[in-house]
Every structure is written in C-alpha cells, then in structure tokens.
Amino acid sequence: MNLKNNIEKIVQQLPDNKCRLIAVSKTKSVEDIMKAYEAGVRDFGENKVQELTQKQPQLPADIRWHMIGHLQRNKVKFIAPVVHLIHGVDSAKLLRAINKEGKKIDRKIPCLLQIHIAEEESKFGFAKEELYEMLHDQAMGDLHHVAVKGLMGMATFTDDQDQVRQEFKNLKVLYEALKQEQVTLPDFTMEELSMGMSGDYKIAVDEGSTMVRIGSAIFGER
C-alpha cells in the first residue's frame, strides 16, 4: 500500500482549487497520518471524538481536523477548541449545543448540515421539511457562535451509479436553492458541499462536490 501514490492519484482527479481532499483517518495510526501529511495532505477526518482528541496533540498544528461522524451533544465540548469543521450536524439541538460550547470559548464554530439523501433509513441527516423548519425558526437567530458553511450528504451504498448520481444531484440542487433562502441563523452561507467517499467520489466531483471524504482508497481497507 503506497499512500503517496494513492493520494496523488486521487488529487489528480479533483478539479484544481474547487474540491478539497479530506483524508479520513479513523482507526489509522498517527504514523499513517504522518505519511499522508508528508504527501501533502492537511485535512483529516475522524468520526469519533475520542480518536480526534487523542491524535490531534500528537500531530502537526497546521492539520485541519474535520469531524465527519455522528456527534453526540455531550461530546461537543471536547472538540470545540480544535475542530476545523463539523460535517455531521443533523439536528437543531446539536447546532444549539455546538453554539453553547462555541460561546464558552468565544469561538464561532464552522459547521455543515447533514442532509438525508440516501434511500437507507440508517443514514443520519435532516429531512428537507425538518431542515426548512429549522432555518425559519426565529429561535435560531441567537446562534452567534456557529457558522453554517454548507451541506454534507452520504449516498446510498449501492452499485447503482445512476442512483448515487441522482442523490448527489438532489443535494446540489438543495445547496444552490439555499443560497437564495432567507434564514434566521445569523451566519449562514453555502460555500462547501461535502459529498463523495472512496467508492463514489468521482461521481460526487462531477456533481459539484467541494470536499471529498476519502479513507480506504488512501489508507487501505479498515
């Protein structure tokens, strides 16, 4: 397994300055992360709070740490000072909890809203109606310590490429529509569209992804 080759191969397929590679390093050692770092990667994604907080102090300070997994409200405080972007915000309650921790440390924490685009029940994320309800809720007007920067989504795990493409297209349409939406959140912009993993990133890039989250195609199977 040659990390550097894997990374170069992926990066070549990303449109210049339009789509960023996030190396998903969950379950991988700090040594493996250092290899990817030496190959030029600066964005790393973890899906467990404890793993992120354990690895972060052992690695270079210019790494941007992305929280990509499901996040529990009571664990936000552990990542609040160090996280670059929280991808998996899937409820108004979680957004409030992040705001509360941001306020404590006087930081505005960058977030993406996770949207449920897959067919499977199991995947987390806002349904559309639920999303619009939150975005128009007057109570969201107080959240001055979160900055919503865009959307994140995971396609259905299937060999049906047309289905995956359609799900990414749907997310992109929503992302574009939200650029025009009047919302109550004080800091809401649509700059980042986090979609695409090892198995489907090429489709995601075609459909306008600005961030791909890739683990096994870099580090090998977990």
Ligand X SMILES: *Cc1c(COP(=O)(O)O)cnc(C)c1O
Query: Measured from the CB of residue 32, what is the shortest distance to ligand X in angstroms?
Result: 13
The encoded tokens of residue 46 equal: 């973890």
Nearer to ligand X, 37 or 140 (CB): 37
Answer whether 209's CB lies under 8 Å from 192's CB: no
41 is an interface residue for ligand X by CB under 6 A: no
What is the rounded distance in angstroms from the CA atom of residue 122 to the CA atom of residue 186? 31
Choose the binding region for ligand X from 59-67, 102-110, 161-169, 214-222 (rule: CB under 6 A).
214-222
Nearer to ligand X, 84 or 103 (CB): 84
Which positions ≥6 away from 83 have C-beta within 8 Å? Answer: 52, 65, 66, 67, 109
153 is an interface residue for ligand X by CB under 6 A: no
Which positions ≥6 away from 49 have C-beta within 8 Å? Answer: 67, 71, 72, 75, 78, 79
216 is an interface residue for ligand X by CB under 6 A: yes
Residues 19-38 that bind ligand X (CB under 6 A): 24, 26
214 is an interface residue for ligand X by CB under 6 A: yes
69 is an interface residue for ligand X by CB under 6 A: yes
- Of 68, 146, 204, 211, the one binding ligand X (CB under 6 A) is 68
What is the rounded distance in angstroms from the CA atom of residue 51 to the CA atom of residue 43? 15
Choose the binding region for ligand X from 34-42, 53-61, 160-168, 193-201 (rule: CB under 6 A).
193-201
Nearest Cα to Cα of residue 8 among 211, 214, 164, 196: 214
Query: Measured from the CB of residue 221, what is the shortest distance to ligand X in angstroms?
Result: 8
DSSP-assigned beta bridge partners for residue 146: 109
Query: Measured from the CB of residue 34, what is the shortest distance to ligand X in angstroms?
Result: 19
197 is an interface residue for ligand X by CB under 6 A: yes
The encoded tokens of residue 69 equal: 């997994």
Answer whether 168's CB lies under 8 Å from 203's CB: yes
Rg of the chain, C-alpha, whole Å = 17
Query: Measured from the CB of residue 17, what is the shortest distance to ligand X in angstroms?
Result: 22
Question: Residues interacting with ligand X, by CB under 6 A?
Answer: 24, 26, 47, 68-69, 197-199, 213-217
